[in-house]
Amino acid sequence: MWHKHMHSPAKKPKVEHSSSNPGGSGWSGGGGFKNSPKLEGHGQPNEALKQERRALPIYPARQQLIAQIRRLPSAIVIGETGSGKTTQIPQYLLEAGVNGGAAIAITQPRRVAAVSVCQRVAQEKNTTVGTSVGYRIRFEDATSSSTKLIFMTDGMLLREAILDSKLTKYSVIVLDEAHERTVHTDVLFGVVKAAQNCRLKTGLKLLKIIVMSATMDVDHFSRYFNKAPVLYLEGRQFPIQVMHTAEPQSDYAFSSVVTLFKIHKEAPAREDVLIFLTGQDEIDSAVKQLRQLSRDMQDLPKLLILPLYAALPPQQQVKVFEKTPPGHRKVVIATNVAETSITIPGIKFVIDCGKVKAKVFNARTGLDILRVVNTSKAQTLQRTGRAGRESAGTCYRLFTEAQFGEMSSNTVPEIQRCNLSSVILQLMAMGISDVMTFDFMDKPDRESILAALTELELLGAVEKISESDMPKLTPLGKRMAAFPLDPKYAKIILLSQEYGCVEEVLTIVSILSVDDIFINQMNKRDEIQSVRQKFVSSEGDHITLLNTFRAFKSVNGNKAWCFENFINYRHINTAREVRKQLRDICSCQGIQFSSCGKDTENVRKCLAAGLFLNCAQLSKQGDFTTVSSRLTVSIHPASALFHCKPACVVYSELIKLGKNYMRNVSVVDPEWLQEVAPSYFKQKKVHLMT
């Protein structure tokens, strides 16, 4: 089944390479920490952790690294995943006082990484999260006024920039995992660069920018940040044997199970395995299947099977870092979160499905669709590299060598393949009105920017007086930008005042902002359906969600009740937290709270007014057709309306699973839509029929 060859890790220069610093002494390797300032923060970190910190590849380079960063306004740091960039560099800078007393922001593309890295650093500093070290992610703030190291998602820093475009609170911004090129990271590049410039011009304290990446392709970064020198960290990478399948695999999840058991039968138990799959559902079902299979195979060593994805509770996430008990084999099944942002100790084998879930946007249809796509060569190599962190390893690729050859070399930056309406709204709220000429590292195409502007214009957030004028944010647009939400939902919340249903809309938007509150188990489908019937509304999913939340509140958020009703207790609680925060923003915006009680028609009217761009009509064939792009779509099987044929609906999202499915669907009256956006429907030449 397997074809094999050796993977040689990219060769890294041993010494610093720097265009603006000829003659700079090499600092990777070589050591020299005799005169280093005290490493500890406050408190006494335990001896084992201290040892671990000192054993990291970055440690010997520490002093030269600090010296370099101290004198440079911007620097790019490159180092193999696991070398200690994220956990150590912020601590080094703080210990050496490079921040000059102000806070250091370290951005992460993922919530999981922001939280877990922060916990680790707090542990190393022998302190608790929220004191000198903290994190900030959407709807959660674990910092205090004295926090100096703030780990945050890139989206959070972007929101801060709306209120303070010079980022005056910070003296150092570390843009971590830059190679991921998420849409927020890309926008941050421009925003942070502008803040640095502006502070320079206005004589404010210098803003230091450090860009950290795990891949070598950095000329791009360096050029963009005014030829910032690139500092290379010497990594540790052992040889890795790479195996490809002889034939393409039609079911990679199944192939990954087969491959795992091949490894399990052949390799010693202490050698752990990391499997890359694409998403939570896939991972959960693989975990279940593997646990069952391993129970049936009594004669083999025990398997410790751990899932790892963004939506997993933190207590479960940290399990992957724990030592594998003797006689067990650890198997971590992860999304691409384990590609670079998280390093799992003990991994000797990697099984790579070669796929990733990615947002794909089509500017012509205006749709953001989440779908499983092939990884790029760069991503594949990163995944392979995870097998050779501590010793020589093996990577099983669940695709052929020819398929590898066909992969694109680099992942296209997300900004070039997603809906930009949210980002453009944020940029405009920062006072950047000419979004067309914004200094993007890689510009999204003109068509996508125009599509976003059109969407914002239709939502009333942006206005254009004439063709030659620059688009302007309207007062409504400014208020919409205050919410950390897709502009459509921000608008729905603002509109809900007019419809007298602020409380109801807050509940619905909060639930839509978290992971699915319903638990769906294939083997209990009938039972779940009959239990859930009491929440289901013929008006559609949004009202069903509202009913569920109301019932949850009526039992005071009882955990046992959630269990009996197949409700995910953690997710619905998160929704409650999110709701509190959105309610606070509403208060700041001077919104009057109101409730519509049992009569939920106004809630749907309000949804229609915000989601009119997401509407679909029943077609003669019995499918639905979207108004925006004449796409044929169906109602998702999990929807309350799956068996219904309403003439007209609005939906929260579209997903592609073979067919295009609408998720979270509500029945609406075509007249409502016509009323809120007459010119839109006229332009689309759509006659909405009742």
User: Which among ligand CDP, Mg ion, none contacts residue 462 (Cβ within 5 to 8 A by kind)?
Assistant: none
Taking the complex as a whole, how short is the minimal distance between the CB of residue 441 and ligand CDP, in angstroms?
21
Element (H, E) at 71: helix 62-71
Taking CB under 6 A as the binding criterion, the range among 78-86, 138-146, 180-188, 421-429 that sits at the site for ligand CDP is 78-86
Supply the DSSP symbol for 137. Answer: E
572 is written with which tokens? Answer: 């619905």
Q: In terms of CB distance, is 117 or 149 closer to ligand CDP?
A: 117
CA pair distance 139, 578, nearest whole angstrom: 6
Give the one residue of 74, 76, 77, 85 binding ligand CDP; rule: CB under 6 A: 85
Binding mask of the shown chain, residues 644 to 673, with x at each position contacting ligand CDP by CB under 6 A: ------------------------------
Report the nearest approach of ligand CDP to the CB of residue 320 (Å): 9
CA dist list (Å): 403 to 89, 356, 376, 533? 38, 15, 11, 46
Which amino acid is located at 272 in the chain? Answer: D
Span near ligand CDP by CB under 6 A; candidates 77-85, 97-105, 245-253, 454-462: 77-85
Contact call for residue 343 and ligand CDP (CB under 6 A): yes
* For Mg ion, the closer CB: 78 or 505: 78
Distance CA 287, CA 290 (A): 5
Task: Indicate the residue among 45 and 82 with the shorter CB distance to ligand CDP.
Answer: 82
- What is the Cα–Cα distance from 353 to 252, expressed in whole angstroms? 6
Which residues partner with 656 through β-bridges? 660
Q: Which residues pair with 131 in a beta bridge?
A: none
Name the residue among 45, 44, 47 with its Cα closest to residue 120.
Answer: 45
DSSP string covering 530-555: HHHTTT--TTBHHHHHHHHHHHHHHT
74 binds, among Mg ion, ligand CDP, none (CB under 5 to 8 A by kind): none
Bridge partners, 6 (sequence order): 241
75: β partners: 210
Residue 79, binding choice from Mg ion, ligand CDP, none, Cβ under 5 to 8 Å by partner class: ligand CDP
Q: How far is the CB of 367 from Mg ion (least distance, A)?
A: 33
The smaller minimum CB distance to ligand CDP, of residues 24 and 345, is found at 345
Q: Which member of 41, 82, 307, 484 binds ligand CDP (CB under 6 A)?
A: 82
- Which residue's CB is nearer to ligand CDP, number 98 or number 456? 98
385 touches, from ligand CDP, Mg ion, none (C-beta below 5 to 8 Å by class)? none
CB 410 within 8 A of CB 382: no
Q: How far is the CB of 345 from ligand CDP (least distance, A)?
A: 5
- The binding track of 504-523 with respect to Mg ion, each residue x by CB under 5 A or -, is --------------------
Q: At its nearest, how many Å lie between ligand CDP and the CB of residue 389?
A: 7
Closest distance to ligand CDP from the beta carbon of 86 (Å): 3
393 near ligand CDP, judged by CB under 6 A: no
Instruction: For the CB of residue 396, give the shortest distance to ligand CDP in the complex, in Å.
Output: 23
Sign of CA dihedral 37, 43, 47, 52: negative
Which region among 112-120, 292-300, 429-437, 570-578 touches ligand CDP (by CB under 6 A)?
112-120
Compare residues 86 and 256 and give the one whose CB is closer to ligand CDP.
Answer: 86
**Contact code string over 181-220 relative to ligand CDP, x by CB under 6 A:** ----------------------------------------
| Paired tokens of 125 | 């500093």
- Cβ atoms of 488 and 613 within 8 Å: the answer is yes
Q: Does 540 bind ligand CDP (CB under 6 A)?
A: no
Query: In this structure, which amino acid lies at residue 294?
Result: S
Q: Which is nearer to Mg ion, 86 or 116 (CB)?
A: 86
Beta strands in 353-493 (DSSP E): 355-362, 367-374, 393-397, 462-463, 472-473
Nearest approach, Cβ of 319 to ligand CDP (angstroms)?
11
Please list every residue from 33 through 62 that binds ligand CDP, using CB under 6 A.
56
H helix runs in 420-540, sequence order: 421-429, 446-458, 475-480, 487-499, 502-513, 525-532
Per rule CB under 6 A, is residue 171 in the interface with ligand CDP? Answer: no
Residue 90 binds ligand CDP, judged by CB under 6 A: no
What distance in Å separates the CA atoms of residue 339 and residue 354, rounded to the nearest whole number? 12
Taking the complex as a whole, how short is the minimal distance between the CB of residue 354 and ligand CDP, in angstroms?
22
* Residue 79 binding ligand CDP, by CB under 6 A: yes
Q: Which of 12, 120, 357, 377 binds ligand CDP (CB under 6 A)?
A: 120
Give 81 or 259: the residue with its C-beta nearer to Mg ion: 81
* Size of interface with Mg ion, in residues (CB under 5 A): 2
Least Cβ distance, residue 230 to Mg ion (angstroms): 17
- Which residue in the set 2, 321, 404, 561 belongs to the binding site for ligand CDP (CB under 6 A)? 321
d(CA 77, CA 56): 16
Using CA atoms, how far apart are residues 29 and 9, in angstroms rounded to an integer?
A: 18
Distance from the first to the final alpha carbon of the chain:
58
* CB-based contact 341:383 (threshold 8 Å): no
Residue 263 to residues 172, 258, 294, 394, 621: CA-CA distances in angstroms? Answer: 45, 9, 13, 10, 50
CA distance 234 to 172: 23
Q: Which of 65, 105, 117, 662 binds ligand CDP (CB under 6 A)?
A: 117
Instruction: Choose one: 8-16, 84-92, 429-437, 518-526; the region binding ligand CDP (CB under 6 A).
Output: 84-92
- Residue 212 CB, shortest distance to Mg ion, in Å, is 7
Rounded Cα–Cα distance for residues 502 and 562 (Å): 25
Question: Interface with Mg ion includes 86 (CB under 5 A)?
Answer: yes
What is the spatial distance between Cα 143 and Cα 136, in angstroms, rounded to a whole number?
7
Nearest CB to Mg ion, comparing residues 59 and 483: 59
Q: Is 9 in the site for ligand CDP (CB under 6 A)?
A: no
Of the candidates 560, 551, 532, which has an alpha carbon nearest to the alpha carbon of residue 639?
Answer: 532
Exactly one of 9, 130, 301, 345 binds ligand CDP (CB under 6 A); which one? 345
CB nearer to ligand CDP: pick between 136 and 386: 386
* Spatial separation of the C-alpha atoms in residues 138 and 109, rounded to whole Å: 12
Asked if residue 681 lies in contact with residue 615, where contact means CB atoms within 8 angstroms, the answer is no
CB 621 within 8 A of CB 463: no
> Which one of 84-92, 118-126, 149-157, 270-278 is the stretch in contact with Mg ion (CB under 5 A)?
84-92
Distance CA 16, CA 22 (A): 10
Q: Where are the beta strands (DSSP E) in 162-265?
A: 170-175, 208-213, 230-232, 240-245
Helix H or strand E segment including 46 = none
Indicate which of ligand CDP, Mg ion, none lies near residue 511 (CB less than 5 to 8 Å, by partner kind). Answer: none
Q: CA-based angle 59:196:135, to the nearest 5? A: 55
Q: Which of 68, 86, 153, 510 binds ligand CDP (CB under 6 A)?
A: 86
Applying CB under 5 A, the residues found at the interface with Mg ion are: 85-86
Q: List residues binding ligand CDP (CB under 6 A).
A: 56, 79, 81-88, 116-117, 120, 321, 343, 345
